[in-house]
Amino acid sequence: MTEASLSLAVPKWRDLFVMTKPTITLLVVITAIPGLLLGASSLPEYSLLLWTCLGAGLASSSAAVFNQVVEHKIDQTMQRTQKRGVASNRISRFEASVFGLILGALGMGILYTEVNPLSAYVALSGHIFYVVVYTLILKKRTVQNIVIGGAAGSVGPLIGFAAASNSLPWEAWMMFALIFLWTPPHFWALALKYQNDYAAAGIPMYPVVHGDHKTRKVIYLYALTLVPVVGSFYLMTSVGFWGATISMLLTLKFSYDTWRLYRSGTNDLAMPVFHYSCLYTFLVFGIIAIERLIHLLPKVG
């Protein structure tokens, strides 16, 4: 490879990596791990953990790529997204589609053959829901786009439980519900800042349709719905007392922050709420995973 071709290839690979939306993909993987640990009756094999995380990550990455293939014109109109690979024409839609197909085939194939079919079906349903139901159908048609579409990003715990137990018990669905109900206040806090972008793109995001005041109110109300969901952790035999208690404290902090945003009457606290919401999910699922891992580890002596 010549020096000139290398200089062109490196930025392209960087664009392809960014197209996988690494933060969202990491969230799917991070939330699959506690699902796997909670669904297991004994310490899972390292290979099962590896294949589950890799398969879930590749499947999520594929959905993210196809989202940008479909939305390239919308991305071009929004300041936040116009520098993405396809939107800026650094990556062609054909290249991105092939990349997305490879990622998806690898992810589903790994889950189906190395984990179990149920985990692959769950990942596939999340993929279809994100690309078809959310991106193609809901996003430009209803203000509830992110509410319904949030189901696609909530499949991590389901994949984990399916991998560990080949089943989807109620505990898995409560973990699913946590991410599902967290998504609207998380995303709408960001939408408060970028609502002009969404308006220009013709996307009926909540602040665009209902205004700032009502958006701040529903952000707070959605955050409150997380309290009973996290409260159900105390009823789960696989979640320990400290994991449930710390998760509840983090949830009450999130609710308090959204209440402050609502009572402030301005959007000044919107981005702090958004940033904490990102940290919130990683902390809750991370703490649950660590506590469960300690419980599953063989006892010395």
pLDDT at 31 over 50: yes
DSSP class of residue 268? T
Confidence of residue 139 (pLDDT cuts 50, 70, 90): confident
Cβ(85)–Cβ(100) below 8 Å: no
Can you give the pLDDT at residue 89? 82
Q: Is residue 87 part of a domain?
A: yes
What mean pLDDT comes out for the span 258-281? 96
Q: In the Cβ-directed half-sphere of 89, how many Cα atoms lie within 13 Å? A: 0
Q: Is residue 120 part of a domain?
A: yes
pTM (2 d.p.): 0.89
Q: What does pLDDT average to over the chain?
A: 89
Q: Is residue 281 part of a domain?
A: yes
Structure tokens at 239: 């979640």
CATH number at residue 135: 1.10.600
Measuring CA to CA, which residue among 263, 284, 234, 267 is closest to residue 35?
A: 284
User: pLDDT per residue over 146-202, tens digit each?
Assistant: 888 788 889 999 999 999 999 999 999 999 999 999 999 999 999 999 888 888 878
Which residues are CB-contacts of 117 (< 8 A; sequence separation ≥ 6)? Answer: none
What mean pLDDT comes out for the span 99-120? 96
Q: Is residue 2 part of a domain?
A: no
- C-alpha distances in Å from residue 157, one per residue of 6, 29, 103, 116, 225: 40, 9, 20, 15, 19
Q: Is residue 76 part of a domain?
A: yes
Can you give the pLDDT at residue 299? 63
Cα separation of 219 and 270, whole Å? 10
Can you give the pLDDT at residue 281? 94
Between 74 and 157, residue with greater pLDDT? 157
User: pLDDT per residue over 52-71, tens digit each?
Assistant: 999 999 999 999 999 888 88
Q: Is residue 44 part of a domain?
A: yes
Q: Is residue 1 part of a domain?
A: no
**Helix 170-193 / helix 206-231 crossing angle, nearest 10 deg:** 150
Can you give the pLDDT at residue 159? 97
Please give the residue range of the domain that contains residue 46: 9-296
The total number of structural domains in the chain stands at: 1
Q: Is residue 130 part of a domain?
A: yes
Can you give the pLDDT at residue 215? 95
